[in-house]
A and B are shown apart, each in its own frame.
Chain A
Amino acid sequence: MPTEKNDLHRGTLDMLILKIVAAGPLHGYAIAQRLQQISKDYFQVPQGSLYPALHRLEERGWVDAEWKDTSTGREAKFYKLTAKGKKQLEVEVLGWERLSDAVSLILRTAD
């Protein structure tokens, strides 16, 4: 059996994508670039995860997609955050903060 994709990973990627597109509509390639840039090359998002994640988010109604011309005049698919996605992002960020606080608290004090 191939190992299943890690749920935490998948959930985290979703949250990061939501955060990125919250700033404004972006196409898939730009999203990958931004993730890489902001995380200072820590995240190398493979396309194999990115596109399924985008389609999944679209299916759930958290992002909306639109075909628009890019600055170079080519048509590309732009993703933007919906109201539902915004709410979801808030929930996930809150959850993430709690988790990371708890984790770092343990790491600091559990000696």
Chain B
Amino acid sequence: MRWLSRLGKKPLVEKRFDSELQFHLEQQIADYIASGMPAEEARRRANLEFGGVERFKEECRETRWENQFDIFIRDFRFALRGLIKDRRFAFVSIFALALAIGASTAMISVVENALFEPFPYKDQRKLVVVHIRDLDEKDNSRSFFTMPEIEEIRKQNTVFEGTASNQQDDVVQMGTEASLRLDGNFVTPGSFDFLGVPALLGRALEDADYQPGATPVFVLRYKAWQGKFHSDPSAIGKTFTINGVARTLAGVMPPRFAWGGADLWIPCSYEAAQTLTSGQFDKYWGFVARLKPGVSENEASAEMGLIAKRLATLNPKDYPRHFDTSVENFGHAVVPQEFRNSLYLFLVAVSLLLLIGCGNVANLLLARATTRNKEFAVRAALGASRHRLIRQLLVESLLLALGGAFLGVLFAWAGVRVLSTSMPNSTIASETVIEMNPTVLVFALVMGVGTIFIFGLVPALRASRCDLQDSLRDTGKGLSGTGSNARLRNSVIVLEVALSLTLLFTAGLFIRSFLALSHVPLDFSIDHVLTARIPLPPNRYKTPAQITAFYQPLLQRLSSLPGVTAAATASTYPPYDCCPAEIEIAGKSREQKRTATLELSSENYFQVLRIPFLEGRTFLAEEVNGARRVAVINETFRSRYFKNENPIGQRVHLLLMETFDDPLPNAWFEVVGVVADAKNHGLENPNDPEVWFPYTVYPRPAWALLVKTVGEPTNMIETVGKEVWASDSGVALADPESLEHVRDVSMLAQPRFGLWLVTVFSAIGLILVTIGVYSVMAYSTSRQTHEFGIRMALGAEAGDVLKMVLRKGTMLLLGGIGIGLAVSFAVGRTVVAQLWGVSAFDPLTLAAVVMLLLSVGLAACWIPARRATRVDPVTALRYE
């Protein structure tokens, strides 16, 4: 370890070095004296020949590595001192860089995780779902299939390597005190091999589990095991009663496995699936396939089209008159189209942010470099080698880059945390885990750090290239930036302003759209309403009579609870009363196609939601209990189909009810009342005609419960749950929530998230632009100090100088705004699908954004402009 001991003995090395040179000198003197020179003269000549001892020493030192370390430390301290002296520059460049790195990394990580790699499943990019889309009715599309259809697709296709089907089911695990309700999934044989994820504990489902006579088993999701089974590893191998069947827990899946969003998976052979009647959509199964290698989505779509045509001729009832068939990437099918578009849009925005940030840093470095030209020329003249100059600037850049990178990683980390917690759940796959993407982080860091090094080295390269005398003579304070450098800086600013305007304008549109959306009157009251689903086990609740026997006493008991004013049941929650279906009206021709949304409900439904009656009345209790064929219609229905006639007593034919496997024969209903319109097709859409009829006429397995409470609705969850359990211990409340919460989550969460995201990003953009404008203006005015001095000496007023600076700033801003407007209009066209109640060219938003940008930009110019007016002509002219 000679090198280590050398580092420790540095003073000794230094001393030895001195004595070596001393020896040389003395030898020389001795030689001169020996040749007859007088001692005094010999000494003088030897010293003269030897020259500057210190310079040789320095050169010798540079050849030794332990001194390299010293030099580095010295450069480091020098750079740090320089940056501290110019701390506004240092702070602004580090901040701009960190903001750009952080924001882009966070956003790209989220998009990557949510859109491109949302699942832990094997070969997930090859997973597809098949869509049957009705060409006449846009909303009418399905990607679910009946078991016979799935059998046919499996038999006939040549494009899929494997398939898996699943069927959702509400699962109740019977307990001694209260029953536990979980989301279950029936899965077909081979599903777990298809997904290719091994179990975390125990085992996944195997082929043997699907054989007739096999021990009934199930597999748990990590989250359910953690929450409802308290992460107890000994639960594996134990038996639980699930929907009345004793099943053994075979294994627990790893955290990201969430197939079908279920809590547990139950094996179901294809034979058993044919006759399964307990699922939520009983006959329709989810169907996912994996494309064979080399098969494109288009090829698969074409073949699925042929198979679907054949199936349609066998079962015309199950297919729309005109339809097309397509396969779609599974990940895309899970993330809604609009949300995907917003994420792509943000992705573009954020990449632009990274560019803006790097542009700012480049601008700042260039500006600083130009003012330092002379410093480098002087140092070169004093003997600094090119090598040393470059190294010293590298150290300075390294400091800036380290600061920016460190803060940037911090920002990225915080950004990912915030984004992942504020992401609306319903819009991303439940398997998605949002975490920082290291590749993106590295890319952003390389971009940012690269900018610093490239533009940070410019002064050294220039100093070593340019003529020394020129630099020394140049006062550096001539006219304002002319030449290519200045043009480059100015165009960076113009582009930044344009980008920022586009971002701000988009944000403004989202804000306006969100405000419009959240102010849409629902026309029914959502306060103090508790909602829940009550999934009834289909094997015990087959007939209307059985269902009535459960609900009628339950609703009565709930209504009489203290703190409850009314209770009702209905087939869905408003305002999403799904899917208009064809109807017929007695005495009117069927030429004109009439549709209405069908809704089963109890008599108190209108009372709970405070929907007023315009004519007639609600159902009578005996009509509901007796399953009588009576109906209530909404105002849209009346005005569209009855115009001036009296609707009371009219008869409507609900054709849909006769098409079910278990049809309601002769589905004619008599209108007994008309209610005012309430939103029934989401917030964004106009109301559909709607018909309500007693829930007792047709059995459906899952029902919505609506309870009007006096106090906070969620406080009543336990009380209501107990009543349900008392009615039937095999039934449990599903998803109890206040209706207000449901409204917030289902209707506003996604637009709010989009709004929030775009606002944050445009705010970051605005900050970066402010920094950009400020840095360029501050730099160019400092270059003009000399010019301002002359002007003021010749009689210019402070106001004139102020005007000059501001005029230049305004020109840059206006240029950027002009380009930005053009880009905004182009972008507006693409975001228009995500806007509601506001035009993509909204003039108010436009004016506000332009004003904001102008005022912020001018404020950024103001500081350097004010400084320019304070120039004292005498000092400015003497300054040099």
Contacts and interface: CB of A to CB of B under 8 A. Distances in A.
A52 B17 CA distance: 11
Interface stretch (A17-25, A43-51, A82-90, A92-100): A43-51
Contact of B63 (A2, A32, A52, A76): A52
B386 A1 contact: yes
B16 to A, nearest CB: 7
Interface string B43-54: 000000111100
A76 B50 CA distance: 18
A77 interface: yes
Nearest to A27: B23
Interface string B450-476: 000000000000001000100000000
Nearest to B30: A72
A66 B60 CA distance: 17
B78 interface: no
Contacts of A28: 20, 23-24
A67 interface: yes
A29 B28 contact: yes
Contacts of A4: 385-386
A75 B16 CA distance: 10
Interface in A46-82: 46-48, 51-52, 55-56, 59, 67, 74-77
B23 A48 contact: no
B23 A59 contact: no
A54 to B, nearest CB: 8
A9 to B, nearest CB: 14
A30 to B, nearest CB: 8
B59 A48 contact: yes
Interface in B1-52: 16, 19-21, 23-24, 26-28, 49-52
A92 to B, nearest CB: 18
B763 interface: no
Contact of B60 (A1, A51, A67): A51
Interface in A1-40: 1-2, 4, 27-29, 32
B60 A77 contact: no
Nearest to B464: A1
Interface residues of B, number: 27
Interface residues of A, number: 20
B26 to A, nearest CB: 8
Nearest to A53: B63
Given A1-B468, A4-B385, A46-B51, A51 B56 contact: yes
B20 A76 contact: yes
B28 A56 contact: no
A2 B383 contact: yes
B55 interface: yes
Contacts of B64: 55, 59
Nearest to B380: A1
A10 to B, nearest CB: 11
Interface in B350-389: 380, 383, 385-386
A4 B386 CA distance: 9
A2 B389 CA distance: 13
Contacts of A75: 19, 23
B825 interface: no
Given A28-B24, A55-B64, A59-B63, A47 B386 contact: no
A67 B17 CA distance: 11
A57 to B, nearest CB: 9
Contacts of B56: 47-48, 51-52
B65 interface: yes
Contacts of B65: 59
A58 to B, nearest CB: 9
Contacts of A29: 23-24, 27-28
Given A55-B60, A59-B63, A47 B383 contact: no
B322 to A, nearest CB: 80
Contacts of A47: 21, 24, 49-51, 56
A32 B16 CA distance: 19
A74 B23 contact: yes
A33 to B, nearest CB: 8
A92 B28 CA distance: 30
A48 B55 contact: yes
Contacts of B28: 29
Contact of A51 (B19, B21, B49, B386): B21
A48 B50 CA distance: 8
A55 B49 CA distance: 20
Interface string B693-712: 00000000000000000000
A67 B464 contact: no
Nearest to A30: B27
Nearest to A74: B23
A97 B50 CA distance: 32
A29 B19 CA distance: 12
Contacts of B380: 1-2
A72 B706 CA distance: 113
A27 to B, nearest CB: 7
Contacts of A2: 380, 383, 385
A52 B55 CA distance: 10
Given A46-B51, A59-B63, A51 B20 contact: yes
Contacts of B51: 46-48
Contacts of B59: 48, 51-52
Interface in B632-682: none
15 contacts: A1-B386, A2-B380, A2-B383, A4-B385, A4-B386, A27-B23, A28-B24, A29-B24, A48-B52, A51-B24, A52-B60, A56-B63, A59-B63, A77-B20, A77-B23
Interface of B: 16, 19-21, 23-24, 26-28, 49-52, 55-56, 59-60, 62-65, 380, 383, 385-386, 464, 468
Nearest 9 CB-CB pairings of A with B: A29-B27, A52-B59, A56-B63, A55-B60, A29-B24, A55-B63, A48-B56, A77-B20, A52-B60
